[in-house]
């Protein structure tokens, strides 16, 4: 199988495409052309690589999580440490790429949406570094859940706009960012933070995150002499997952497993697991799976993780699911939080609650695959931002005093 690439109009099979107001078509074409040119331009690549290495700290290491592995059926668990990036998550990979592209297009202002605040912080960081104006749209609900990240963005010089429409979470922040973009498109780049939205975003954002998988492939081969048995990652929009999956798509013996946010459980309807519990449709610029009712109205998602609390998912994941090349499963809030605590106490690493969904998945996957398995898991972010949410949860469950 060839690595999955979209067709000329950005379709991954029946998914993807461009479902946007005509007013944005010119900007999307410009973005696509600039991106394609930049990806072939050695100067651009050199500048991006330099920033990734000297500013963000790439390559990120692989950690052999021997203690945590005891709880995963004895399988060998290798962590790809995206949490060690500058700003605390994988999000910076894409942000640095798009911020450089913004300058290349001669634009001076970036706008971004954020859920957990990780993409917003990364965007504010890149804007500060490269001298761009930055406005971040964030659901009002999320500004409360992630107050620490709001303060970080403000300190970095960004304007944070709380979004008070709809469910006041990530999807509404995307709507507001789109509205801003259509009105200010001449001088503004919409620095979309995940592999969703209209073409070329799913392809471009994936390409900026492919470095996660490219590095991992070399590192795992060097460490173990073979490819991993399986790769696990959490899925909201799906950027960290596609980044680590994509360089392994041709390696058909490597299982790819994405863990969606199951909230209270997919059967309760209160979740954010679009592939496990959604239907195909068009949402925020592309066709994919989404959480919707019988009338095509978006259903509000639910997850303890602000970063996964999104009723859509990137079109390439929908395609990989349809092909059967990747599997998608749901992890409940409880399972994620149990894994969060276990991981803190066995490895001395506080993971992002998003990443804890992948860790909970790995506990199950390890038991299924057995002790000969090597599972590579994308530890997409660190959990400093989640300490208050987690403390509240563990007090309620009695797991912490």
CB atoms within 10 A of CB 117: 29
Crossing angle for the helix pair 333-347 and 353-369, to the nearest 10 degrees? 90
Interaction between residue 9 and another protein (CB under 8 A): yes
Tokens, residue 75: 């399988």
Q: Which of 286, 96, 308, 88 is nearest to 191 (CA)?
A: 96
User: What residues are paired with 234 via a beta bridge?
Assistant: 259
The verdict on 106 binding another protein (CB under 8 A) reads: no
Query: Does the protein bind another protein through residue 166 (CB under 8 A)?
Result: yes
Whether 70 contacts 347, CB under 8 Å: no
Q: Which stretch binds another protein (CB under 8 A): 79-87, 150-158, 278-286, 362-370?
A: 278-286
Query: Is position 19 an interface residue for another protein (rule: CB under 8 A)?
Result: yes
Number of residues that bind another protein (CB under 8 A): 37
Nearer to another protein by Cβ, of 34 and 83: the residue is: 34
Annotation marks residue 113 as catalytic: yes
Return all residues near 191 (Cβ < 8 A) that are at least 6 apart: 95, 98, 99, 102, 110, 111, 112, 123
Rounded CA separation 265/272 (Å): 9
Least distance to another protein, CB of residue 283, Å: 6
Applying CB under 8 A, among 7, 14, 21, 252 the residue interacting with another protein is 21
358 close to 380: Cβ distance less than 8 angstroms:
yes
Q: Applying CB under 8 A, which of residues 38, 72, 132, 178 lies at the interface with another protein?
A: 178
169 binds another protein (CB under 8 A): no
Residue 105: HSE in the Cβ half-sphere, 13 Å Cα cutoff = 28
Smallest separation (angstroms) from another protein to the CB of 179: 5
Angle value at C-alpha 113, between 377 and 141, nearest 5 degrees: 90
For another protein, the closer of residues 19 and 394 by Cβ is 19
171 flagged as catalytic: no
Among 128, 214, 223, 282, binds another protein (CB under 8 A): 282
- Member of 1, 40, 297, 401 binding another protein (CB under 8 A): 297
**Is position 91 annotated as part of the catalytic site?**
yes
Give the active site residue among 32, 113, 316, 347: 113
Active-site residue numbers? 91, 113, 380
């Amino acid at each position: 199988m060839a690595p999955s690439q979209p067709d000329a109009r950005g379709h991954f099979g029946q998914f993807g495409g461009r479902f946007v107001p005509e007013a944005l078509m010119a900007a999307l074409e410009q973005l696509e052309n600039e991106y394609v040119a930049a990806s072939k331009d050695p100067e651009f690549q050199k500048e991006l690589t330099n920033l990734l290495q000297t500013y963000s700290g790439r390559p990120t290491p692989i950690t052999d999580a021997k203690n945590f592995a005891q709880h995963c059926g004895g399988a060998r668990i290798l962590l790809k440490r995206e949490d060690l990036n500058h700003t605390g998550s994988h999000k910076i990979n894409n942000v640095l790429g798009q911020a450089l592209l913004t300058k290349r297009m001669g634009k001076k202002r970036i706008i971004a949406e954020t859920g957990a605040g990780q993409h917003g912080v990364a965007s504010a960081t890149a804007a500060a570094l490269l001298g761009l104006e930055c406005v971040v749209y964030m659901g009002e609900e999320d500004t409360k859940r992630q107050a620490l990240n709001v303060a970080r963005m403000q300190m970095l010089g960004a304007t944070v706009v709380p979004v008070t429409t709809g469910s006041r979470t990530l999807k509404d922040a995307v709507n507001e960012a789109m509205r801003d973009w259509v009105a200010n498109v001449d001088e503004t780049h919409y620095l979309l933070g995940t592999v969703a939205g209209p073409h070329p975003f799913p392809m471009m954002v994936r390409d900026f995150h492919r470095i996660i998988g490219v590095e991992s492939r070399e590192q795992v081969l060097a460490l173990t002499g073979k490819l991993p048995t399986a790769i696990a990652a959490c899925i909201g929009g799906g950027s960290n997952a596609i980044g680590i999956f994509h360089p392994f798509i041709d390696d058909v013996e490597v299982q790819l497993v994405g863990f969606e946010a199951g909230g209270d459980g997919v059967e309760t309807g209160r979740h954010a697991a679009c592939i496990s519990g959604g239907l195909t449709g068009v949402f925020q610029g592309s066709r994919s799976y989404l959480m919707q009712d019988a009338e095509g109205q978006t259903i509000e998602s639910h997850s303890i993780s602000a970063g996964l609390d999104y009723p859509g998912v990137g079109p390439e994941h929908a395609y990989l699911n349809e092909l059967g090349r990747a599997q998608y499963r749901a992890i409940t809030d409880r399972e994620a939080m149990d894994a969060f605590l276990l991981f803190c106490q066995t490895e001395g690493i506080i993971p992002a609650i998003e990443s804890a969904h992948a860790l909970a998945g790995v506990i199950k996957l390890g038991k299924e695959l057995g002790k000969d398995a090597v599972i590579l898991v994308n530890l997409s972010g660190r959990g400093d931002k989640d300490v208050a949410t987690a403390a509240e949860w563990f007090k309620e469950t009695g797991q912490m005093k």
